[in-house]
């Protein structure tokens, strides 16, 4: 009998997207091939502690997206490299070893998990992990940097302005309106799941939207509001990614807000596949693939694009640890493309191991 691969599911995290990550982890644990993989659940609470959790009780209120939380009863653990070179967990209190890990699947949406921080730690610990590495994670999270890199790569992006908190006194509504028009979207530069985002239609809404965005980041981005269809597609692979069929988000809210994504089951209609001409589908897939490569992504990503009534395509953003919830586009689009969630998780883990083995062949010393 082949020995199972021990997979550390690292989930939760310190960001405002903590609860979304709990929902994603729940679905990954349910879908993973348990004949091939042994699951080790490591929950990160909002203080940054690593808790080794039991599979049957790692979440509280797991059926309620508004009340879901990490069970705090787990053992406090740390990731270490043993004398034998194996990556494993150690109980911080008892100092007892809690088993080795062959690969880690980070399910940490937002800052302190999707932005290169955990990826840097895992590279230092010499453990394979799913998804983009340090650089791809960092630039994918930063909407300002990613848009500039996409623009420099010749990819189409919408008009935007960037402001820093230290210069927030110079943010002038009239100047923004003159450059971008109305409406505009005001966003934290480093966050996802529509947290901290406001759609601004007039001057009265502007100051509150800016203040709200600065609650989550020291840098904000203000984007031109376009009359568009919101199209998403999924990427899978390392150097040569494949791109799924696109799907369309049709929000019933004013925009695709956090509530529409994760709380309100009727907050948006997911049109899968998107009703698009074949040549538009192919162009969206081509641009998505180029965006994935331009931003140094690996493993997986969800690429969000805007499509105007004149069939102009703009890359909106890329998500390097996309949601795996029951209503998340990333796994749904792969199901449409013929890849089940179980197979998708398997491919992601194998891609992580392949990249690790490739990088181990590189010289690190003279």
Mean pLDDT of 278-296: 98
Cβ contacts of residue 359 below 8 Å, gap of 6+? none
Q: Is residue 46 part of a domain?
A: yes
Residue 356 has pLDDT above 80, yes or no: yes
302 in catalytic set: yes
304 in catalytic set: yes
Q: Is residue 366 part of a domain?
A: no
When pLDDT is cut at 50, 70 and 90, the band that residue 82 belongs to is: confident
Same domain, 97 and 185: no
Residue identified by tokens 């929000």 is 251
pLDDT tens-place string over residues 222-267: 999 999 999 999 999 999 999 999 999 998 766 554 555 555 566 6
Of the candidates 138, 360, 343, 154, which has an alpha carbon nearest to the alpha carbon of residue 236? 343
Q: Is residue 365 part of a domain?
A: no
| Catalytic option among 140, 304, 316, 355 | 304
| Catalytic option among 319, 328, 347, 355 | 319
Q: Cα separation of 79 and 139, whole Å?
A: 26
Same domain, 301 and 209: no
Determine the 3-state secondary structure of 145 from DSSP. helix
Determine the 3-state secondary structure of 223 from DSSP. strand
Residue 1 has pLDDT above 60, yes or no: no
Same domain, 152 and 170: no
Q: Residue 136 has what pLDDT?
A: 98
Determine the 3-state secondary structure of 298 from DSSP. coil
Residue 325 has pLDDT above 70, yes or no: yes
311 in catalytic set: no
Rg (CA), the chain: 21
Calculate the CA dihedral of residues 93, 74, 347, 235 and round it to 10 degrees: -110
| Catalytic option among 323, 328, 346, 347 | 323
Give the single-character DSSP code of 3: P
| Catalytic option among 15, 53, 193, 194 | 193
Q: Residue 253 has what pLDDT?
A: 63
Cβ contacts of residue 30 below 8 Å, gap of 6+? none
Give the single-character DSSP code of 235: E
Mean pLDDT of 175-181: 97
Q: Is residue 358 part of a domain?
A: no
37 in catalytic set: no
323 in catalytic set: yes
Average pLDDT of the residues of the chain: 92
pTM of structure: 0.92
Among 82-86, 100-104, 228-232, 269-273, the range scoring the smallest mean pLDDT is: 82-86
Cβ contacts of residue 318 below 8 Å, gap of 6+? 140, 146, 291, 292, 295, 297, 301, 302, 303, 304
17 in catalytic set: yes
Same domain, 149 and 277: yes
> Domain holding 165: CATH number?
3.30.1490.20
Q: Is residue 362 part of a domain?
A: no
| Catalytic option among 45, 248, 317, 346 | 317
Residue 20 has pLDDT above 70, yes or no: yes
Length of the chain (residues):
366
Q: Is residue 134 part of a domain?
A: no
pLDDT tens-place string over residues 38-72: 999 999 999 999 999 888 889 999 888 889 999 99
Residue 97 has pLDDT above 70, yes or no: yes
193 in catalytic set: yes
262 in catalytic set: yes
| Catalytic option among 229, 234, 262, 328 | 262
Of the candidates 69, 29, 73, which has an alpha carbon nearest to the alpha carbon of residue 53? 73
Same domain, 144 and 258: yes
Same domain, 149 and 263: yes
Residue 163 has pLDDT above 70, yes or no: yes
Question: 183 is in which domain, residue-wise?
Answer: 160-224
Among 232-241, 274-283, 312-321, 356-365, the range scoring the smallest mean pLDDT is: 356-365
Same domain, 10 and 68: yes
| Catalytic option among 289, 302, 347, 355 | 302
Q: How many distinct structural domains can be found in the chain?
A: 3
Residue 114 has pLDDT above 90, yes or no: yes
| Catalytic option among 8, 12, 17, 53 | 17
């Amino acid at each position: 009998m082949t020995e199972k691969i021990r997979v550390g599911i690292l989930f939760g995290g310190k960001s405002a997207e903590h609860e979304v990550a709990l929902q994603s982890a729940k679905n990954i644990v349910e879908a993973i091939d348990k004949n091939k993989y042994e699951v080790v659940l490591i929950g990160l609470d909002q203080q940054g502690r690593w808790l080794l959790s039991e599979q049957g009780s790692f979440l509280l209120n797991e059926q309620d997206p508004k009340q879901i939380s990490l069970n705090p009863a787990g053992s406090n653990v740390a990731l270490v490299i043993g004398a034998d070179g194996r990556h494993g967990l150690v109980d911080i209190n008892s100092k007892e070893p809690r088993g080795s890990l062959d690969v880690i699947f980070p399910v940490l949406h937002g800052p302190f998990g999707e932005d290169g921080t955990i990826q840097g730690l895992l590279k230092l610990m010499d453990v394979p992990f799913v998804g983009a590495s340090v650089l791809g994670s960092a630039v994918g999270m930063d909407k300002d940097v990613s848009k500039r890199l996409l623009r420099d790569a010749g990819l189409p992006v919408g008009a935007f302005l960037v402001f820093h908190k230290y210069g927030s006194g110079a943010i002038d509504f009239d100047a923004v309106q003159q450059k971008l028009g109305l409406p505009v979207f005001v966003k934290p530069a480093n966050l996802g799941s529509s947290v901290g985002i406001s759609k601004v239609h007039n001057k009265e809404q502007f100051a509150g939207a800016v203040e709200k965005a600065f609650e989550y980041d020291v840098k904000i981005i203000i984007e031109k509001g376009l009359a568009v269809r919101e199209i998403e597609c999924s990427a899978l692979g390392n150097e040569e990614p494949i791109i799924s069929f696109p799907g369309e988000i049709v929000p019933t809210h004013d925009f695709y807000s956090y509530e529409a994504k994760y709380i309100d089951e009727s907050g948006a209609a997911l049109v899968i596949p998107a009703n698009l001409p074949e040549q538009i589908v192919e162009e969206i897939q081509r641009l998505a693939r180029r965006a994935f490569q331009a931003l140094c992504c690996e493993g997986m990503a969800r690429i969000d694009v805007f499509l105007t009534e004149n069939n102009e395509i703009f890359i909106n953003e890329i998500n390097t640890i996309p949601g795996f919830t029951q209503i998340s586009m990333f796994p749904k689009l792969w199901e449409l493309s013929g890849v089940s969630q179980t197979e998708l998780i398997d491919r992601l883990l194998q891609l992580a191991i392949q990249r690790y083995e490739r990088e181990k062949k590189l010289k690190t010393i003279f």
